[in-house]
Amino acid sequence: MKDAAVVCRELRCGEAVDVRYWAAFGQGSGEIWIHDVYCRGSELTLNNCSSQGKHNCDHVNDAGVICSGQNLRLTAGPQRCSGRVEVLHGGSWYTVCDADFDQQDAEVVCRELGCGIPVEVLGSAAFGRGEGQVWTEELQCRGNESEITFCPTSSSLKHSNCSHYNDVGLICSGEVS
């Protein structure tokens, strides 16, 4: 699963859900790229993981990965590029607290979703209160990250009191072609 986590991250497909073996999605063709991959799970690309140079396998041994899909969404808004900010973590969607959610965080969210630039950050559950859990980590994006998973986070005492009354909303400029 650590290898799969790196693959899903590199492909920007959310979190790793499952690993499949023995060419479960069909056999590939051509040369086999790498063999016996070992990732710690924190690498940005599969190329950063260690692997065996020589291999003795063929395409019946091809591995497959199932990813969760995008790990970020805007919900309950009037258009695709506006709504309540939600993050996928551990198979569950979490709303994001409006405490400390700033312009740099908004820039990364809009960019990752292909929604242009931020127009307005709205607090106090402007797009309605979400369900489930509230994300308790403080996002500390610099604004130039390509996706939210690359932003540093830290625990925040401000977030310990967050509830769905504090769900952050975001309006982005719109889709970028």
**Chain mean pLDDT for the chain:** 85
CATH number of the domain to which 29 belongs: 3.10.250.10
Residue 177 located in a structural domain: no
CA 59, distance to chain mean position in Å, is 30
Domain that residue 128 falls in: 72-172
d(CA 161, CA 167): 12
Residues 43 and 59 in one domain: yes
Residues 35 and 93 in one domain: no
Per-residue pLDDT for 64 more than 70? Answer: yes
Residue 45 located in a structural domain: yes
Q: Are 73 and 86 in contact (CB under 8 A)?
A: yes
d(CA 28, CA 85): 38
Residues 83 and 155 in one domain: yes
Q: DSSP code of 167?
A: B
pTM above 0.85, yes or no: no
Q: Which of 67, 94, 118 is the last residue of a domain?
A: 67
Alpha-carbon distance values, 48 to 7, 36, 92, 119 (Å):
11, 13, 28, 36
Per-residue pLDDT for 34 more than 80? Answer: no
Three-state secondary structure call for residue 157: coil
Amino acid at 1: M
Q: Which of 51, 67, 83 is the last residue of a domain?
A: 67
Question: What's the number of domains the chain is made of?
Answer: 2
How confident is the model over 99-142, as pLDDT tens digits? 889 999 999 999 988 899 999 999 999 999 999 999 878 889 99
pLDDT-above-90 percentage for the chain: 32
Q: Are 22 and 60 in contact (CB under 8 A)?
A: yes
d(CA 146, CA 110): 10
Per-residue pLDDT for 160 more than 70? Answer: no
Give percent helix, percent strand, percent coil of the chain, each to the nearest 5: 20, 30, 50
